[in-house]
Structure 1
């Protein structure tokens, strides 16, 4: 990667810097000359825009006469003078329809617009405008300069694609201040952890008015995503389809993985490379866990060998350009065939998943899906002699012995975040009834570490998880990940077909 620019002579030059960019008057005149028109920009309304507008209307109705501030977030430094690839805050993406890496430092503000009982807001998107080619930013700013990172869209182009009123970010302080000072405005709320600079900017402004609870806004933004609209469901289908193709690449990569000292990373690279080609990237760090590593729930080091006779647990999902992500787990026999012991654990997990599928439908409480899976897990562990009590006693709140081998929940909501809607209230999440349009995972597992002396010797070192993404329909659920085999015999046949 190229070093960022620095002065080339003159009083502004950093004496410690080895980097050089000319700043003479002659250079400034020369670099500003000879440029043709910029390429034509997209001017059509993006397919996400109408859905984003409806989401803003719902949010507006929840907080009448209040200024609402939702930042995209800044670039985040990885190390020294390099940044991570930008990803906007999920609430910002949800309310604007902007995905991929759009737009660092932008801020969406909902300004109160109605009077009396009218609770309308005017939505304004504030962002950095294009810099002229005669500006220093154009050639000397390694974070934002067009010569370094490419052109930003114009305010007019973003207005056309998003349907939002787009303005220069420089106007943000004055316009937020004016909204706060307007008659009838009750205060301001913002997403506080999205952009420290925006938080610092807004804090003194709202000291003039009654500060409202930001956490209530964050909760509302999370609950706004509990039921997916048609656009979101389509994006999740696309993410799942891309993830299924990624799992095919994983199977094809297994022969190379077996012969490599870091075989888990061969697997990770196969999936992640496909994710980057087909989408924005992965939705979370891929878990590629062979053998006993599968018993570490969030094993993302992925630096182990992949050996014949082992199981390989892969938990991975493609994030598409709109930032919606799949979340899929398959546990694969490295040799293409399950041993008897592996099949026994695998079948127990599959039966637990099927039990969860059987109860999932509108009107059932979210927690009941987990409870159905746990009944199967406890029953099998009891049959294998691993519980100190019977299954019924273990399932009681004061028992829970079976959770030693499955300490996580069976399901979580899925969407813009892999653990979507995480700030929703308990009564809207775990204690809520399933509703048509919800998308969540079903992912039971059993993890028996190699040093676990409470387990039969032949089961030690076996970790299995099967994870599917489901859409709640009018009378049940649709398995969005059904294209990836789940039954042991089908997994073996599928792997053989790809080899």
Structure 2
């Protein structure tokens, strides 16, 4: 990895480039500085078409404007975050910002300026192309020759359908602004500092809650993106099955890397840390170390999702027999979870209570645990006391969208206590987990974990399983794996 000539990024200045701090390789001569200013072809882009979701983002901003008339609204994308020393994590724009703009660049800020008692004028504050006159494009670590070309402000306006200005002018403008302001917090400390005496936590939280609840019902663009994410995810699962022999020779990391390749080729990234849990690791709900052995005869719980280039993620789990065949006990546990998932999916429909799918799946699992002699008493008593939760552990699902746990800031009454509507998308993911050290179950159960998860869209007349291209029933899973392994 190349090292910057001047590793410290200076403040913007009109001073000659030679007055910037010298880097490890010495100062920049006047002659070189002048040489680097000229001799470059014009690379401006012309006639750009708006991005596919421009109309949808305009509608979302209109809804936001209607909710907070007469108030200035500030929604940042966020900044680069240091991973170690002088390297940064890959940037992912804040969900609120990307949802309202379609832009994914760091340091961007959307400002909705009130135009009167009602209505707003939207402006995107962005970093323009890196400057050739002051040398930023080749001396700054975020300059064009280091990290690639940014769009000009004019190009950004054409693509996003929003007027654009230089974000470096924004802090001063916000400091001087008057009137009520709300901002989405937690993404840009500089913007928050400029608004310190203008915002309150309570008012800002209302903005965050509104933007979370606005995503509960997906529009047509979002549904298409979620389907795309599920389709790519299915191909990623196929990739994993094809290389299980290589994973056995190495570790869970081979599975993780294999799925990641699909996510990067067909999307932006993985939507969350992949859970590649083989053997007893499957009983750890969020096993993301992925450094364990992969052994024939055990199960692999693979929970992974591709995030599309527009930042919508799938969230799918399959529990696969590593050698291609479930043994008798594995199949018994798997079939119980499958039956629970079937009951949960059947409960997803418009007008149903959000909690219905969880209750339906938990009832099936409680019945199985009583039937197997692991719990005593009636199923009603087990459910009333929640005794099944020793082995079911988690809720049966959550909303899905731009975040894997989407709409997380929504009010209880708008989310878990609401009724389902067409356009909502949620996961249905029951599981049974028998810990390796659980002395309350027969020894042969210990270390077995099973979860099955699909992404379910509420439709006008029921639901649609967006991830149904991956088999779920045990016989179908075995046949699918056999076909992929050849």
- Fold match by TM threshold 0.5: yes
Partner Cα distance (2:352, 2:249) in 1: 47
2:323 matched to 1:324? no
Match of 1:418 in 2: 404
Q: Using the TM superposition, give the Cα deviation of residue 13 of structure 1 relative to its aligned residue in structure 2, in angstroms.
A: 4.2
Determine whether 1:241 maps to 2:234.
no
Does the Cα contact within 8 Å between 2:45 and 2:155 map onto a contact in 1? no
Aligned to 1:166: 164
Checking the alignment, whether the CA contact within 8 Å between 1:7 and 1:22 is kept in structure 2 is: no
Following the alignment from structure 2 to structure 1, what is the Cα–Cα distance between the partners of residues 373 and 19? 78
Which residue number in structure 1 is paired with residue 443 of structure 2?
457
Partner residue in 2 for 1:35: 40
Secondary structure in 2 aligned to 1:203? Answer: coil
Residues 268-321 of structure 1, C-alpha deviations (whole Å, 9 max, x = no match) = 111011100111010000000001000000000000010010000000000010
Shift in Å, 1:455: 1.3
Q: Distance in 2 between matches of 1:363 and 1:386?
A: 35
Alpha-carbon separation, structure 1, partners of 2:185 and 2:160: 24
Instruction: Give the Cα separation in 1 of the matches to 2:416 and 2:483.
Output: 40
Which residue in 2 is equivalent to 1:2? 2
> Residue in 2 aligned with 1:104?
106
Are residues 348 and 161 of structure 1, via their aligned partners in 2, closer, same or farther at CA, if it must alter by over 3 Å? same
1:201 Cα deviation after fit: 1.4
Instruction: State the alpha-carbon separation in 1 of the partners of residues 26 and 424 from structure 2.
Output: 53
Separation in structure 2 between the aligned mates of residue 387 and residue 4 of structure 1, nearest angstrom: 64
Distance 1:41 1:389, change over 3 A: farther
Q: Is the 8 A contact 2:229 2:308 kept in 1?
A: yes
Q: Does 1:369 align with 2:357?
A: yes
Contact kept, 8 Å, 2:270 with 2:307, in 1: the verdict is: yes
Q: Say whether the 8 Å CA contact 1:384–1:456 is kept in structure 2.
A: no
Give the deviation of 1:459 after TM superposition: 1.7
Moved more, 456-465 or 43-52: 456-465
In the other structure, the counterpart of 1:61 is 66
User: For structure 1, which runs of at least 5 residues remain unmatched after alignment?
Assistant: none
Confirm or deny: 8 A CA contact 1:288 1:312 kept in the other structure: yes
Deviation at 1:453, TM superposition (A): 1.4
Contact 2:37 / 2:135 at 8 angstroms: preserved in 1?
no
Instruction: Find out whether 1:140 has 2:142 as its counterpart.
Output: no
Change in CA separation of 1:481 and 1:11 when aligned onto 2, cut-off 3 Å: closer
Alignment partners' CA distance in 2, 1:354 and 1:267: 27
Q: Please state whether the residue corresponding to 2:123 is helix, strand or coil.
A: strand
Asked if residue 189 in structure 1 is aligned to residue 175 in structure 2, the reply is no
How far off its partner does 1:203 sit? 1.4
Q: Distance in 2 between matches of 1:21 and 1:280?
A: 38
Task: Provide closer, same or farther for how the CA distance between residues 391 and 174 of structure 1 changes in structure 2, counting only shifts above 3 A.
Answer: same
**Partner-residue secondary structure (3-state), 1:433:** coil
Taking the aligned partners of 2:161 and 2:278, their CA distance within structure 1 comes to 48
SS in 2 for 1:469: strand
Q: Residues 470, 319 of structure 1: CA spacing in aligned structure 2 closer, same or farther, 3 A cutoff?
A: same
How far residue 43 of structure 1 moved from its aligned partner, in angstroms, is: 1.1
Partner of 2:348: 360
* Corresponding position of 1:231: 221
Deviations along 1:94-123, whole A, 9 cap, x unmatched? Answer: 00012xxx21111000110134xxx10111
CA distance in 1, matches of 2:137, 2:348: 55
Misfit runs of 4+, over 3 Å? 7-14, 173-178
SS at match of 1:440: strand
- CA displacement, residues 324-380 of structure 1 (integer Å, 9 cap, x when unaligned): 000000000000000000000000000000001111101111111101100011111
Instruction: Give the superposed CA RMSD.
Output: 1.8
Shift of 1:383: 1.2
